[in-house]
A and B are shown apart, each in its own frame.
Chain A
Amino acid sequence: MANNFDRNITREDLMRRRASLLQRMHIDGQLLFILLTIAATGLFVLYSASGKDWGLVIRQAVSFGIGLTGMLIIAQFEPRFMARWVVLAYVGGLVLLGIVLVAGDGAKGAQRWIYIPGVIRFQPSEFMKLIVPMMVASYLGSRALPPRLKHIVVALALAVVPFGMILIQPDLGTSLLIIASGAFVLFMGGLQWRWILSAVAAVVPLAIGMWFFVMRDYQKQRVLTFLDPESDPLGSGWNIIQSKAAIGSGGVYGKGWLQGTQSHLDFLPESHTDFIIAVLGEEFGLVGICLLLFLYLLLVARGMAITYKAQSLFGKLMAGTITLTFFVYVFINIGMVSGLLPVVGVPLPFISYGGTSIVTLLAGFGVMMSIHTHRKWIAQG
């Protein structure tokens, strides 16, 4: 008995000594290192894509600073704390979305912003990208796995309500990402394959039925243009034609930094935001894009490792979902710019210019760090 007691104490002491400065600050060193590498790559590409606009690069760097600070702050909170209080954030988010619908500030025909003049202007839907999966994870985390039908229905409802409210803003891209993050939580929670397969099986006949019996010709036309933007070269197809030419002309090794012609001659619209990967592809070639993909894969691998090691069910679900959602952003963006997917307006994580996306993504990684660094030492052995 006494012997055992002694050993326990010694072991815990050992642990404490091993806990480095980083861990006491609740920082995951590997994750931070990969993030900083990607951020540096992003600034490097952005300098070229923006046409050597230092102001833009500095603004982007400031966004990274804000995002990293936010990430560290979030990492200090315990996952248990998040799981308990997320419901407040969720309800608050729904209220804000409601306000947007009633009295939102519009740009380009869509109401997405809450704007209090002189105080703040932000997009509640951006905030919900993190809160919705957290809410679903918190709900499923206190249930037994794999989820039963009742729990699946409730979990879906938690994601569908904000999905609907964002869809009618209208913001198709963000709403789909939110419903996808909800679905990822269910997936990580071991949603039975029969449910996954029947959901896929249900979509196909539904879509066919809509196509033949519900939709009018002009609506069909719109869907076709959405699926195949190159059929509409005067509209969204212009970007795709140009971005494909930019990427393709980069070849294996690229034309070299600042040497891209397509982007610098203003052929490529939005070259520093959603279409920035085309600049990378043109200037650094297949090798450059593969290196970036490798960095992203490292991040995904680290995320999956954290998921694997997480102790609480909430932590597992959350870490897995954040990782998968992050990867989906990467896939959709590159797929869209290279002409594989329809144009939906998803930025390339950490590379595209834009503060909101950076801050939201880093907040997600803050949650991940919190999950990893608040583990009980006793179980680590």
Chain B
Amino acid sequence: MAAPIRLKDHERDARVVRSRVWVGVLFVLILVGILFARLYHLQVTQYEHHSTLSENNRVHVLPIPPHRGLIYDRNGKILADNRASFSLTLTRERAGQSWPDLLDEVVAVLELGADDRRLFERRVRQGRRPFEPVPFLFNLSEEQIARIAVNQYRLPGIEVQANLVRHYPFKEHFAHSVGYVGRINEQELKKLDPVAYAGTHHIGKTGIEYFYEDRLHGQVGYEEVETNARGRVMRVLKRTDPQAGVDLHLYMDADLQEVAEQALGGRRGAVVAIEPQTGGILALVSQPGYDPNLFVTGISFKDYAELRDSIDRPLFNRVLRGTYPPGSTIKPMVAIAGLDSGVVTPQNRVFDPGFYKLPNVKHLYRNWNRTGDGWVDMNMAIYRSNDTYFYDLAHKMGIDRLSEYMKAFGLGQRVTVDLAREESEGLVPSRQWKRAVRNQAWYPGETLIAGIGQGYMLATPMQLAQATAVMANRGQWIRPRMVRLLGDQPIDEPETPANVTLKDPKSWDRGIEGMINVLHYPRGTAYRVGSTAAYQIAGKSGTAQVVAIKQGEKYDRNKINERHRDHALFIGFAPADAPRIAVAVMVENGESGSGVAAPVVKKVMDAWLLDAEGKLKAHSGKVEYHPPPPPEEAHGQ
């Protein structure tokens, strides 16, 4: 049956729509009925309830900030907790239009200055919700609390409030690794979830306090309260508890950290020790440090200016942000690169007259030992730190191949898991880089000095420790990281770049052998340190030039400003046959890698590997530690 042709039938169309008009009217009436029922419920059935709420009292919702997760070292020592502290708050709605005048009163009562007054006003203006008591002065002393109490009658809307504030019991010792929290600033405010941070005034600014902010922060709670006309809480109607943030358990060892700091002996410098198997950061020292507690409640202008302008740069994180020419510390890696790319064999020898000369170039590239070391093979080149051998090797390899190998070890990139934001990338130069950045051609001479870690090449102590750990692991990559457990959960294994795989795995032995000889062969540059060790250390010294020395000029320490003297570097891992710790040390203006930096490395290793009697521990650092339930008072309840 063919479908009938449908003609437009106006009468039928009108009927359809008219029937729908009636359905529509029914639909509207039902919805109006629902609205009426709802309003009747609110205005008649629940009238008493709402009327009480609105006339006698006011309902407020008060956020209850969650307790920030605590931070423990590997032995359960607390590195960051929360302490009760009194602060002064202002509720603008209660103070009325003239709240700025109230601030003047407060400044007068507490005998503060105009600077503080400005700061107070800025802080109060950051308040976000209606009827929010905005804290503007922290860490009140007993006397300040008393003065406010006496004058309370003329300070409506001003209250002393007790709240928990981050506290770092170790002060400056972990400022550069754990980081600190500070007051939420306007920029951060824009990005934050206003509900989650309704009761929170602090946020992680640096270190793992920053990286793990979302885990540490916890979940906000709230209570609905009735307040009287003057804003006093009369009754809690409903309470939802906040959920505390997750506690962090670090790889760090507070004792080892202390040893490392003492080993630097008050000098400016950096120490970083990591576990080669896991990448766990055992100690991270950047000296001088600063007291992070100052930043928590807002540092005064004067204190901040002092820290910022100090010639010792205490705020500068030397481990993560300090970039230095890695100097001779990269020689073992360069040697392995040379073997793997086939430009040299372990037996190849180079004659060192005290300098190296490129054909057709006048410039003499000097060995540090001006008299020369004679015939040098790879092993000797490493333990004597012979520059001439590596000039030759670098020349044969060319800069591009050399750079590829250095990058494979982790130079020129951010390496850590949870401190990456603070890391500098460092620099591994290449032809392409120089063309792109400097718009210049690459000169062969620049390849030579790159071969001994000078010139454009820059690395952070963290990158050096990372590369040392890769060396200790014979190519296996790890990523340095601070946090071992989140609560009781291990963190996800980080993604790592490809492992360094050599055509002949024995090449690793050649490089490591040289590094062992640096400390344990009598002619090794750091034999004096190695000879006293109870176990085998594989290491390498280096110096990072601060100012360039002109051709033909000699490095004369007496002529050079103390701050322009070379930085001393030393990297190493131990025990050489089964590495359990990899260390990188930089001593600012320390001059001698083997003389100044190497003893620091050894002290850190001793503390980690030896027991009280000076014997190698059986399972050093591998004690399975299970976090105890957090002590109640630590949460400051």
Contacts and interface: CB of A to CB of B under 8 A. Distances in A.
A233 B131 CA distance: 14
A364 interface: no
A324 B53 contact: no
A224 interface: no
A113 to B, nearest CB: 20
A250 interface: yes
A284 B341 CA distance: 89
Interface string A106-149: 00000000000000000000000000000000000000111000
B335 to A, nearest CB: 51
A266 B23 CA distance: 42
B39 interface: yes
Contact of B31 (A261, A262, A323, A331): A331
B361 interface: no
B396 to A, nearest CB: 55
Contacts of A244: 42, 50
Contacts, number: 151
A188 B22 CA distance: 10
B17 A241 contact: no
Interface in B3-21: 6-10, 12-14, 16-21
A285 interface: yes
A338 B54 CA distance: 16
A251 B63 contact: no
B220 interface: yes
Interface stretch (A79-87, A169-177, A313-321): A313-321
Interface string A197-240: 00000000000000000000000000000000000111101100
Nearest to A237: B61
A188 B20 contact: yes
Nearest to B224: A233
A239 to B, nearest CB: 11
Contacts of A56: none
B44 interface: yes
A164 interface: no
Given A249-B55, A327-B28, A327-B31, A307 B17 contact: yes
B198 A234 contact: yes
B43 A267 contact: no
Nearest to B51: A249
Chain A interface secondary structure, helix, strand, loop or mixed? Answer: helix
A371 to B, nearest CB: 12
B28 A297 contact: yes
Nearest to B47: A251
Contact of B39 (A232, A286, A297): A286
**Chain A CB within 10 Å — which of B39, B40, B194, B198 has the most?**
B39
**Chain A CB within 10 Å — which of B14, B21, B53 has the most?**
B21
B170 interface: no
Contacts of B224: 233, 241
Interface in B27-47: 27-28, 31-32, 34-36, 38-40, 42-44, 46-47
Contacts of B521: none
B460 to A, nearest CB: 36
Nearest to B190: A109
B59 A248 contact: no
A285 B43 contact: yes
Interface in A296-323: 297, 300-301, 304, 307-308, 313, 316-317, 320, 323
A252 interface: yes
Interface in B101-130: 129-130
A342 to B, nearest CB: 14
A235 B28 contact: no
Interface in A271-300: 281-282, 285-286, 289-290, 293, 297, 300
A234 B50 contact: no
B491 interface: no
B222 interface: yes
Report, nearest first, the 6 A-B pairs whose CB atoms are least far apart: A248-B50, A249-B54, A190-B16, A233-B61, A248-B42, A235-B195
Interface of B: 6-10, 12-14, 16-21, 23-25, 27-28, 31-32, 34-36, 38-40, 42-44, 46-47, 49-51, 53-55, 58-59, 61, 63, 93, 129-130, 194-195, 198, 220, 222, 224
